[in-house]
A and B are shown apart, each in its own frame.
Chain A
């Protein structure tokens, strides 16, 4: 079945470091891909999305590119801040319309 796999956390970085959180997926057809973020004590909120191959989603300095050939959607940010500390979820919406989440990656940014 369709699935999403993320790199395991927690990921701990110093402020202004470069961030990559890996995400790969398995799905038939051309799913839409998403990154959701969950700040401490809150529900998830959409960070960015891409709907077709080679699309780049971006928001708040974060970027991810839909790579069909490697079935990946890695999240990147050039310079993280303490306020970026959160849990990040990669997700896909499959052909049946179902939203499938990865296991989440916790990011901790130290000053």
Chain B
């Protein structure tokens, strides 16, 4: 079974703080994604990575950056947290060419910025 873990389930940070969210997967998937989930808006893609050290902007990259130094680990960075970044953050992985065509999700990190 694919396992996708996220460093924290709940996080509370202050406005202006630098925040790191980490995601680790154990199935050697090339592709990793960061989404944020907000009520009524569904999932919106922030950034994704299709290989080590590679990254691509998603639909809402402003205020975020990412790092992928190792294949199994994908970090989301909020350079200076703001209250409008309070949200649920979901990490996902995907194997290129997979017949099942399934993205595997972590349990999520609920971030509150005060």
Contacts and interface: CB of A to CB of B under 8 A. Distances in A.
Nearest to B108: A43
Most buried by A among B41, B90, B105: B105
Contact of B105 (A43, A49, A93): A43
Given A43-B4, A43-B90, A44-B90, A104 B42 contact: yes
Most buried by A among B42, B90, B105, B107: B42
Interface string A10-44: 00000000000000000000001010000001111
Nearest to A105: B42
What is the size category of the interface that chain B forms with chain A? 10 to 19
A109 interface: no
Contacts of A32: 101
Contacts of A89: 42-43
B102 interface: yes
Contacts of A46: 100, 102-103
B41 A99 contact: no
Interface of A: 4, 32, 34, 41-46, 49, 51, 89, 93, 98-99, 101-104
